[in-house]
Amino acid sequence: MSTGCCAKKWLPFLVVVGAFLLFGCAPKGASKEILSSLEQAKLSAESAESKAKAIESQRIELELKKADKIAKVTSLEVQLSELKAKKKK
């Protein structure tokens, strides 16, 4: 979840910096190099956000699998206790 938070944190920052560069730095706007760098940064931020969402989905899936396995272990422990109790009788 922290990865997604990080991507969400940087995207608005990049947009603000880009707007500043486009409209605040020079009367003619930003140079092609700056625009290219800004576009590349935006694409990188979007890619990072996409990866963060995929990782978050994977984490949730793994947590569900973990919960299933814990439930199965608990069930098997109960069965084992019952069998031990029957054996003592």
State whether the Cα torsion 48-51-55-56 is positive or negative. Answer: positive
Helix (H) or strand (E) holding 18: helix 2-23
Asked whether the predicted pLDDT for residue 89 surpasses 60, the reply is yes
| Residue 6 CB contacts under 8 Å (≥ 6 apart), including other chains | 48, 52
Q: Would you tell me how many other CB atoms lie within 10 Å of the CB of residue 14?
A: 15
The predicted-structure confidence for 7-62, as pLDDT tens digits, reads as follows: 667 777 777 777 776 666 555 667 888 889 999 999 999 999 999 999 999 999 99
| Residue 22 CB contacts under 8 Å (≥ 6 apart), including other chains | 29, 30, 35, 38
Claim: this prediction has a pTM higher than 0.75: no
